[in-house]
Every structure is written in C-alpha cells, then in structure tokens.
Amino acid sequence: MERVVREYTSIREIRGPLLVVDGVSDAAYDEIVEVELPTGEKRRGRVLETARGYAVVQVFEGTTGITPMGTKVRFLARTLEVKVSEEMLGRVFNGLGEPIDGGPPVIHGEWRDVNGDPLNPAARAYPEDFIQTGISAIDGMNPLVRGQKLPIFSGSGLPHNMLAAQIARQATVRGEGEEFAVVFAAIGVMYDEAMFFRKFFEETGAIKRTAMFLTLAEDPPMVRLVTPRVALTLAEYLAFEKDMHVLVILTDMTNYAEALREISAAREEVPGRQGYPGYMYSDLASLYERAGRVQGKKGSITQMPILTMPNDDITHPIPDLTGYITEGQIVLSRELWNRGIYPPVNVLMSLSRLKGEAFDRTREDHANVADQLYAAYSRAVELRSLAAIVGEESLSEVDRRYLRFAELFEQRFIKQGFYENRSIEETLDIAWEILAVLPESELYRIKDEYIRKYHPKYRRRRIAAEAEAKTA
Amino acid sequence: MPVVGRIVRVSGPLVVAEGMKGAQMYEMVEVGEERLVGEINRMSGDLAFIQVYETTTGLRPGEPVYGTGSPLSIELGPGLLQSILDGIGRPLSAIKEVAKSPFIKRGIKVPTLPRDKKWSFEPNKEIRPGAKVGPGDVLGYVQETPLIRHAIMVPPDVSGVVEDIVGEGDYTVTDTIAVVRTPGGEKKELKLMHKWPVRRPRPVARKFDPVLPLITGMRVLDTFFPMAKGGTGAIPGPFGSGKTVTLHSLAKWSDARVIVYIGCGERGNEMTEALQKYPKYKDPWTGRPLLERTILIANTSNMPVAAREASIYTGVTIAEYYRDMGYDVLLVADSTSRWAEALREIAGRLEEMPAEEGFPSYLASRLAEFYSRAGRAQVPGSPKRIGSVTIVGAVSPPGGDFTEPVTANTKRFIRVFWALDARLAYSRHYPAINWIMSYSAYVDLVAKWWMENIDPRWKQYRDEAYKLLLREDELKEIVRLVGTEGLSEKDKLILEAARLLREGFLQQNAFDPIDAFAAPKKQWKQLYAIMEFYHAAMRAVEEGVPVKYIREKLGTLLRELVMTRYKVPNDKVEEIDKLLNEILAKLDEAVKEYKAQTVAA
Ligand SMILES: Nc1ncnc2c1ncn2[C@@H]1O[C@H](COP(=O)(O)OP(=O)(O)O)[C@@H](O)[C@H]1O
Ligand SMILES: Nc1ncnc2c1ncn2[C@@H]1O[C@H](COP(=O)(O)OP(=O)(O)O)[C@@H](O)[C@H]1O
Ligand SMILES: [Mg+2]
Ligand SMILES: [Mg+2]
C-alpha cells in the first residue's frame, strides 16, 4: 500500500458501529482509519468493505456521539499494526498495545500487522517437549507439550484462573533451566480478574517476564477482537525472532466470541448457530493456529486459552468450535468442585492430542498407565451411576473394587494443593498405588514388564528381596 | 485474448470487477497489482464476482483484474507424490523457499510440478510414429518413486496420429515427448505433464461395482463395517472423537496404492505431522516409506477460506489421475464440513439465498458431485486397466449433532458410515466407532473375498459377533434396572464375551506399533478365538458352571486373549491358536473341577 493519508468528511450513514463514507474510491480493504469528531476526540476504525464511491468503516470504539457533520475520516494507508519488542516484558498495555502502567511508551521495536500471516505447515516443527505442570490430572493423564494449544473449558465460578496461574507458575521443561515468557491477554474480563493475575505475576516475580494486555468488560467489542491479535503478534516476535518459549494465556475467549457475534449482528450478516457468525470457526482458528514451533527456530508458542462454557454446555458453539481447533482441552467439572476437589478436572472429557509426544519423553510406563487409568475410571464412573440405582450390593466383587478405585483416583490423584508441585514420577507412583486396588487381571492396558517393574506388589517384594540380600 | 477488468468492490475474499465481459464462469483470474489468484463464480452483465484464494488485505477499487482464459486447473504429472500442496496446487515447500519465511506470504507464484527435475522416461514400445492414439493410451512410464510407476498418458481431450515420440531418456515435465496430429489437423505437443480443470471429473470407460475390500488393518472397520475399493464413506464425529486419527490410520495402513490426504480447514500441525513422520513410517504392504505413495494437500483452518473450497477438487482430480494409471487410490478429506462452511461463507458474500443453517441450497448437489467422483472403473486407453478412487470424508457436526445439514446430506451419498461417538471417546474406547449407529453397504460384496482368502466361516462368525454386540446393548438396559447380579448366567456370559470383543477386538490403539495394524489373518484369528471361547463357555454354563467361576479360573488367560492385540505380531498369528487351545483346555479342566466340587458338596 502506498502510504498516502486521505481525508473525507462525507459520512452518508451511521449504523451500529459502521460508517458509510461516500466519495471514497481508493480505500484499501482492511485499511486503518482515524475518525476525528468535531470535539477533537479521535477514534480508530477499519475498512470492512471498499467499493467505487463508498467505503464501509467499522469504528472500534463505537459510533456513539459521532455526527455526520464535521466528523473527519482519515484513511491511514496501513493495516492495524502494533509495535513489538522485548521491552514489552514486564509491562501492562491496553488491548491495542498502548502502555497503561504509567510507564514510558515502547521506544525500540518493530511495527507488525496484528493479523499476522498463516504459518506454513511445511515450515512448522511438530511439538514434542513435555511440559511438567506439576498437576497430576494434567501431567499424568493429558500431558502438555511445548508449542501446543490447550484451552481450559470452565464454567462461571470455577477456579480456572487459579489453575491457569498454577500452571504458569509451575510449568517447566525438565532438564532445562529456562523459563517461559508469558504473554497474557485479558479479553473483556472484570477488573478484579485482571488484578488477580497482575498480583499473582507480581508476587511470584514472573511479572518481569510477562507482558499483559488488558481490556475490561466495558471496553468496546472491536477492541476485544483486536486484543488477542496484539498479544499473539508480540508472542510470535518473541518466539520466532528472540528464541523465547512463550506461554500465551487468553482469557476469556467467551467474551471474545460474544464481541464477534455483536459485530456480526451490527453488520447484519446471516447468523449461524445461536447467532454466532458462520465464519467464527475460521476466525477462532486465525488466533489458535498462532501457536507452535518452527523449523530452525529455538522458540515456541504454547497457548492456553480459557473460556467459560455458557450453562456448562460443551456443545455450545464457543467451546465446540474451540475444541475443533485446539489440540485438546482441559474440562473443569462443577460436580468435582462442589465436592471440594481442586483442581476439578473432568479427566474423561479432557484430552491432550499431543500426549503421545510427551509419553515418548517421560517414563516408559506413562502411556500404559494413563490408558489404564482412563479405562478403569470410565468403567468405575459407569458403575457408580449403576450402583446409585441398583445398590452396591447388586454389583459383583470386582465391580465394587472399581468403585473404591474411583474414590481414590479422585481424592488422591486428581486432588492436590494450589502450591503442590508433583514431579511426573510422583504422579505415576500415586497412579500405581491406586491401580493396585484392582485385580491384576483387570490391568489389560499395561504391559507385563511394566507391571512387574512398577506394580507396588512386585516393587515391595523386590525391595524386600533386595533388603534381604543385603543383610545376608 | 483474456480480458482485463477493474476492481469495483472488495469485501473479504469476494472481489467484484467490471469490464469482464468475455470472461467465463469459473475462469481463473489474477486480481490486483499483486496478481492474487482468484476464480470467477458469478457473472452479471460485465461484472464478474470473484472468490480470491489469498487474503485481500490492501486491495482497492481500480486495481486491475486479469483473465487467464482457462478454468482453475491443476498440473498432472510426475512429482506430485511426496509433495504437500495448498488448496490450489502450490507446493508449500516451494512457497517457503520463495517467501524466505515460515509464514505464507501472498502473491507467490510457484508451479505445482518442479520444472528443473529430470525424469527418466521409458517409452511404450508399442507407440511408434504413425500409431493412432486416443485418451488414456500410455505413451511410456516414469518411475516416480520406488513405489509408483507413473504412466504418462494421452490426456483425456487429445486423440490423433503420433508424428513423433522421443526415445528413452531424461526429460523435464515441460519437455515434449510426443507430437500428435489431431483429426482436425492440429499438432499437439505432449509432455510428461498436462493440465486438467479441477471441477470437471476425468472420464472413465466403464464403472464397476466395488467388490474388493479396502483392507485398513482396523478390525472394527474391516470386519464389521468394511470399505470397498472404489467405495464412499463418511466418518462423522464431534471434536476429539478420532476422525483425524482414523483418517491417518487409513492413509498409513490401507492397501491402496496411492493416498491423497486433504487437510481441509483443519490444524497445521496435523499436516506437519504427516510430513515429518510419513517418511519414517513403512508401508506395511511394501516396506517402503509411506510418503512415497502419498500426496498431501493442506489448506489449514488459518489459510484463506476460498482456497479451502478449491482444495477438495484439487485433491479428487489428482486421485482420478492416478486411478487413470490403473491404481487403487484412497482419498481422505479432513474435514468436508470445513469445505461446506467455506461454500457457505462465499455464498453469504454473494448474498445468495441461504437454505438450512445458512448453507446454500446447492450444498447437497455439491456433495453428490464430490462423492460420485469415487468408483472402481475401467479407465480409457490401452493397455487395459482398472483403477479405483475410494473417498472417505470426515464430517465435523456442530455440537456432535448428526442431524445437521452436512452430516444429513452426506449420508445420502455415501455407502459406509463410521459414526464416532463422544461417549466412547471419553471412556477411551478407540477407535470410538459406535457399532450400533455405523453401517456398511459393502459387507455382502466383500464377504466373498474374506471367505475365499481368509476363512470360509468369516461371514458366519462376523455376523454372530455382531449380534452378540447388539444383544449386549439390550442387556445393558436391563442391567440399568436390576444390576448385573440380577441377570441369568447365560446373559452374564454374553456380557463377558461382549466385553472381550470390545476390549480385545473393537478397540485398537492407533499408536501401538503392533496393535495399530491387524492383518486380515490376525483379525480373523482374534475374532475366532473370542467366539470359540464364548461357544465353549456357553456349553459350560449350560452344564451349570457359573460365569463367576469361569472368570476366576480363566481371568489371566482372558487377559492374555485381549493382550494378543499388543503381543502377537501379524506374522505370528499361530500364537492365537495356541492360546485358544490353552483356554479351551483350562475351561475343560474348570468344568470338571466344578462338577467334582458340586458332587462332593
Ligand atoms: N455494507 C454496506 N453498508 C452500508 N451501505 C452499503 C453497504 N453495501 C452497499 N451499501 C450502499 O448501498 C448501495 C447499493 O449497493 P449494493 O452493492 O447493490 O448493495 P445492496 O444490494 O445491499 O443495496 C451502495 O451504493 C452503497 O452506498
Ligand atoms: N485409534 C486410536 N487409538 C488411540 N488413540 C486414539 C485413537 N483414535 C483417537 N485417539 C485419541 O483421540 C484423540 C483425538 O482424536 P482425533 O482423531 O484428533 O479427533 P478428531 O479429529 O475427531 O477431533 C487423539 O489425539 C488420540 O489421543
Ligand atoms: Mg480432527
Ligand atoms: Mg443491490
């Protein structure tokens, strides 16, 4: 685009967040616009449609107060950009990337289009390094790898922020000292939520390695759409040009999707499911796919979007379309939370699609143990609801052992403290203790050699034998 | 002369240009100063409505639009295998080189087939100057990869008399290898490659019924819901239920000769995975690296949506091309729903009347057109050859609701339905194929193959096992009311046998080196062993032995039976027979012991 700024005063129509500007014939699609009100107030906008004779402009901050008379519309001959640099770590910005922490503006840096470009699948490197989060429900069952996009599906009132914070604090790739840089985008959240994270990052000292982008619930919808793009543009810069391992936390994607719906409605587009636009899948993908690793580069982007499922409904378009794009999901359960279990991870509904890569890099029995825990726990949950109807006594002896297993699994394996950081070995050892409740012939997901090596029965025997050998 | 017009409007991927009289519907055009690739999908007066295959950011009214005079086409020739193409056939590795960036930049022009690579051409001795040739006649061969001998054919729209043909030697795809004088007197220079419009099916001589199974190595598919070579299938399921893993397994293990894998609006990493791992995995049928028989087409979810719509056609045209050489080709598309959504998005921009859930009214006919490009056929030309295209499409229904338009319409045009079930996936029953909802119209057609090549009892055992699973479902309803202890001993045994079938047969771990691929012989032995145990145990139960007793006595052996999945490789299937004999002997013993006990008591 040649960089020539053009100015018009010919607003023909104002509709919702849209301005139709007449007499324009050379607006570029996606061009950024500055709108100056007669009061001198400036707002930003973007060209949604350009034609010979008119342009349709979407105003970020909304059109309230704009009058067709005396308002100037300037076409800025560039797309929406943000200035990115390492200086941004340790700082707090608004959704457009402007400092709001009272500090100086970002001085050095490069302007980047916030929309980015799609990563070439032929240039990606498949994610593979196991990230130990210290949380058994995740590491044991659905381990995460560096460069993965793994969302938390939560519900209102559930401790997703706590969990995300615990992960951000504990996450490490073992054998490597380096820390994550954290890029945190709060999208349309309440003030106290934003402050929870800020305080948390300050207390843990992580703030120095964190860039925060905050838009609050009262900010206009268009800004909410821009916020994650600004954050991801910085993340890409840090990961692929500054060799950093970046953890991006996006919260709350439900607010993002609602902004998308609001704007789509204002544009009078044909709505899809529950009023969300038909292109929401592609739009969300344009964010979530900005994660991963690249061949020949050291850095990586690991994404952890957080969303609250309206009415705890996983089939709602927001979690549904997210799950179709992300590499798994961690689903929180109100039922477990009500029973006092933190982190209340519904392991059966949770999934890490890249767990296989992690299993290859942890302990040999990990994959089998996780598989067996799944098989046993899902059977146990089924039996539990059966027992609730027909009574425990009409279950077989083996089935009753499954019930006992489920109890231990929830109380010993899933449940842990906010400050409890378990190594993967600790997690697997707990798993074995619990599996030992079941008859050995039920363990058909675990290879014989691992049973002999890790099953407490054989371990104890071995330890006893070793002790005996020593004394002898 | 191709037309040159001017942009009058830009809205997302849709561009309207004036001065386009003389252009054709579906003509490929170059849009704007950067010459972005686009395709005309509506004409109205001198206005052309163009869907642009690259992002339109920065385009303005007044910029030029250049016609090309031809419809959206793909280059067909040696060099397709082992490549990864975007939705309109540009190699992504070449884009990476040109862009000098891991990100896809737009306006990059790279040909589908490498221009500098020389292929060693071995002419067909029967074709001499003066010979009459027609569509599909094989002019010679190129060994494209160690696995695939690529037939260089007279294109479907050319016939005439050969004036000249080159001898054995090395040629690039653009070198002339033969000259043909057409009946109209025109001289046509034939090369190793030709172009074909992707939206037009390549003709066949005669279509046949699919009668050969496509062996996938997945037990639940091959034994219960078989696919046939030249057949059509859909695999619908909510997110995380196993669509992609199943399609990858098909691509990895099935006995097709050429695989076209279309990643249509899905994850970038899934394509990267194939690209990085397929060179390492071995084709179980030949022992060669899998990539040597594979073509990847990637228009991932973050790539421009219009090219996603085109990717399906690009893929199926390539599949037809290898079919024309006489190969059995498998095309998998992940996911057809994303393609349908691309269609919806473009239709919306064109302000077309939406039908169900915003999809255009022609959704069903587009799906029908796509799936009808599958089939087993005699292809045109000599030597005589039979080839097939098998199509399997993933469907991603919103919220897992199978009544939505894409799933519902797809069902009308496919013959195999592999329904994935979130509940099975949550309990890690993989592949999460629901055996009550799934079906295959090919069971009777392929039974002949199984009975002739594997075992004459195949159909009988398969049907019995299937009934057992259906019976289990009914019994589970009863258990929900009375608990397991309230069932008769026979019914308890049915539950036990069904559990063995589920754990030891239906379930299959796609990531276990041994379990991932079960050859037909192994599948049969496993099925036979489980059913024979069931038969013998039923006799025992009829003689009064309780199921609980059998389970206690045989528990470890039954675990072994399930573990044959992981423990018995395809070349050691006799071990399953041995295990079965052990089980039967132990069962005999248990019956005797039990009777002795009861007599004593
Ligand atoms: N998205 C839009 N928002 C507001 N006004 C528009 C928009 N699109 C077109 N117009 C106006 O309506 C006029 C008619 O243009 P046309 O493209 O035929 O749209 P429509 O068929 O929707 O009326 C245009 O000249 C323009 O002034
Ligand atoms: N046959 C299988 N064996 C083992 N794991 C499987 C199998 N099928 C699916 N899975 C598991 O389910 C996850 C989701 O499968 P995937 O095919 O990606 O789902 P979808 O494409 O339907 O969203 C995989 O990451 C894998 O962990
Ligand atoms: Mg998938
Ligand atoms: Mg009109």
B246-277 pLDDT per residue, tens: 999 999 999 999 999 999 999 999 999 999 98
Q: How far apart are CA B485 and CA A231, in angstroms?
A: 58
Q: How far is A256 from chain B (nearest CA, A)?
A: 17
C-beta pairs of B558-562 under 8 Å, 24+ apart in sequence: B558/A441, B558/B500, B558/B533, B558/B583, B559/A441, B559/A442, B559/A443, B559/A444, B561/B500, B561/B504, B561/B529, B561/B530, B561/B533, B562/A444, B562/B500, B562/B503, B562/B504
Cβ of A271: how many Cβ atoms within 10 Å?
A: 15
Q: Mean of the pLDDT values across residues B501-523? A: 96
Determine the pLDDT at residue B432: 97
| B243 Cβ closer than 6 Å to some ligand 2 atom | yes
Length of chain A: 472
Please give the Cα distance from A114 to A83 (Å, whole number).
9
**Two tokens, residue B164:** 């000249």
On whether any CB of chain A is under 8 Å from the CB of B382, the answer is no
pLDDT tens digits, residue range A321-353? 999 999 999 999 999 999 999 999 999 999 999
**A10 confidence band (pLDDT: 50, 70, 90):** very high
Q: How confident is the model at residue B587 (pLDDT cuts 50, 70, 90)?
A: very high
Helix/strand/coil for A309: coil
B205, two tokens: 């001589």
What pLDDT is attached to residue A2? Answer: 56
Q: What is the mean pLDDT of residues B565-587?
A: 97
Q: How far apart are CA A436 and CA B272, in angstroms?
A: 40
Q: What's the mean pLDDT in B44-66?
A: 94
Comma-separated ranges of CATH 2.40.30.20 domains in chain B: 3-71
In chain B, CATH 1.10.1140.10 covers 458-600
A49/B275 Cβ within 8 A:
no
Query: What is the mean pLDDT of the segment spanning A298-309?
Result: 96
Q: Tell me the average pLDDT across B80-90.
A: 95
DSSP structure class, residue B354: B
**Residue B349 Cα to ligand 4 middle (Å):** 12
Q: How far is the CA of A354 from the centre of ligand 2 (A)?
A: 10
Question: Which chain A residues are Cβ-neighbours of B8 within 8 angstroms?
Answer: 51-52
CA of B422, nearest ligand number: 2
Cβ of B358 and A278 within 8 Å? yes
Residue of chain A whose Cα is closest to the Cα of B561: A444
Q: How confident is the model at residue B473 (pLDDT cuts 50, 70, 90)?
A: very high
Cβ-contact A273, B398 below 8 angstroms: yes
Give the closest-approach CA distance of B246 to chain A in angstroms. Answer: 13
Alpha helices in A204-249 (DSSP H): 221-241
Contact B156, B177 (CB under 8 A): no
B121-154 pLDDT, tens digit each: 999 999 999 999 999 999 999 999 999 999 999 9
Q: Across chain A, how many H-helices and E-strands are there?
A: 14, 21
- Check if the beta carbon of residue B218 is closer than 8 Å to that of residue B357: no
In this predicted structure, what is the pLDDT of residue B346?
A: 87
How crowded is residue B137: how many other Cβ atoms within 10 Å of its Cβ? 23
Classify each residue of A12-37 as buried b or exposed e, where b means 16 or more C-beta atoms within 10 Å of its C-beta. Answer: eebeebbbbbeebebbbbbbbbebbe
Q: Evaluate: CB of A266 within 6 angstroms of ligand 1.
A: no
Other C-beta atoms closer than 10 Å to the C-beta of B115 total 11
Ligand 1 in contact with A197 (CB < 6 A)?
no
Helices (H), B457-573: 458-482, 489-501, 520-542, 547-567
3-state secondary structure B274-341: HHHHCCCCECCCCCCEHHHHEEEEEECCCCCHHHHHHHHHHHHHHHHHHHHCCCEEEEEEECHHHHHH
Whose CA is closest to atom 2 on ligand 1? Answer: A56
Tokens of B88: 């309109």
| Domain B206-440 part of CATH 3.10.20.740 | no
For the stretch A242-293, pLDDT in tens is: 999 999 999 999 999 999 999 888 888 888 888 999 899 999 999 999 999 9
Mean pLDDT of chain A: 93
User: How confident is the model at residue A61, as a pLDDT?
Assistant: 86
Does residue A32 surpass a pLDDT of 60?
yes
Average pLDDT, stretch B492-507?
96
- To the nearest whole percent, how much of chain B has pLDDT over 90? 89
Is A1 a residue whose pLDDT tops 60? Answer: no
Does residue A3 register a pLDDT over 80?
Answer: no
Task: Answer with the residue of higher pLDDT: A179 or B408.
Answer: B408
Q: Quick check: B331 pLDDT over 60?
A: yes
Max Cα distance, chain B (Å) = 102
Task: Tell me the pLDDT band of B599, cut-offs 50, 70 and 90.
Answer: confident
Residues 550-579 of B with CB under 8 A from A: 555-556, 558-559, 562-563, 566
C-beta atoms of B268 and A292 within 8 A? yes
Q: What share of chain B is helix, strand, coil (3-state, %, to 5)?
A: 40, 25, 35
In CATH, the architecture of B458-600 is Orthogonal Bundle (1.10)
pLDDT digit string (tens) for A121-173? Answer: 999 999 999 999 999 999 999 999 999 999 999 999 999 999 999 998 888 88
Q: Which of A427-431, B22-26, B310-314 is least confident?
A: B22-26
Measured over the CA atoms of residue B303, residue B307, residue B313 and residue B315, the dihedral's sign is negative
Q: Does B267 touch chain A (CB under 8 A)?
A: yes
Q: Where do the CATH 3.40.50.300 domains begin and end in chain B?
A: 206-440
Written as six digits, the tokens of B159 are 């016939």
Any atom of ligand 1 within 6 Å of the Cβ of A19: no
Count of CB atoms situated within 10 Å of the CB of A88:
24
pLDDT tens sequence across A55-98: 999 998 888 889 998 999 999 999 999 999 999 999 999 999 99
**Sheet harboring B160-165: ordered strands across?**
B132-133, B160-165, B176-181, B187-191
Instruction: Decide whether any atom of ligand 1 lies within 6 Å of the A409 Cβ.
Output: no
| Range 289-348 of A in CB contact (< 8 A) with B | 289-290, 292, 294-295, 297, 315-317, 320-321, 323-325, 327-329, 348
**For ligand 1, is residue A56 a contact (CB within 6 Å)?**
yes
Share of chain B above pLDDT 70, in %: 100
Residue B32 CA to residue A261 CA, distance in Å, equals 31
Q: At what angle do helices B443-453 and B458-482 cross, to 10 degrees?
A: 120
Which ligand is the nearest neighbour of the Cα of B240?
2
Contact call for residues B113 and B75 (beta carbons, < 8 A): yes
* Mean pLDDT value of segment B469-488: 89
Check if the beta carbon of residue B377 is closer than 8 Å to that of residue B328: no
The CATH label, of 2.40.30.20, 2.30.30.100, 3.40.50.720, 1.10.3720.10, for the domain at B3-71 is 2.40.30.20
* Distance from Cα B400 to the centre of ligand 3, integer Å: 13
Q: Could you tell me if the CB of B434 is within 6 A of ligand 2?
A: no
Burial class (CB in 10 A: 0-12, 13-18, 19+), B103: middle
For residue B396 and ligand 2, the question of a CB distance below 6 A is answered with no
Closest Cα to residue B196, out of B89, B122, B116, B121? Answer: B89
Chain B contact set for A386 (CB, 8 A): 479-480, 483
On the 0-12 / 13-18 / 19+ scale of CB atoms within 10 A, B467 is exposed
- Residue A381's pLDDT band, with cuts at 50, 70 and 90, is very high
* Range with lowest mean pLDDT among B1-10, B132-141, B213-222, B478-487: B478-487
Does the domain at B116-192 match CATH 2.40.30.10? Answer given as no
Pocket probe mutation, ligand 1, options A54, A63, A264, A270, max atoms within 8 Å of Cβ = A54
**Predicted local confidence at residue B348, as pLDDT:** 85
> Where do the CATH 2.40.50.100 domains begin and end in chain B?
116-192
Residue A147's CB is within 10 A of a number of other CB atoms, namely 28
CB-nearest to A51 from B9, B302, B354 is B9
| pLDDT tens-place string over residues A90-130 | 999 999 999 999 999 999 999 999 999 999 999 999 999 99
Here the ipTM equals 0.93
Other C-beta atoms closer than 10 Å to the C-beta of A389 total 12
Residue B118 has a pLDDT of 97
Q: Which B residues in the span 582-601 are in contact with A, Cβ-Cβ below 8 Å?
A: none
Q: Taking CB atoms and an 8 Å limit, are A327 and B267 in contact across chains?
A: yes
Q: β-strands B258-264, B294-299: how paired?
A: parallel
- pLDDT of the residue at A178: 64
pLDDT confidence tier of residue B524, bands split at 50, 70 and 90: very high
In sequence order, what DSSP letters do the residues of A357-423 get, joined into one string?
HHHTTS-TTHHHHHHHHHHHHHHHHHHHHHHHHH-GGGS-HHHHHHHHHHHHIIIIII---TT----
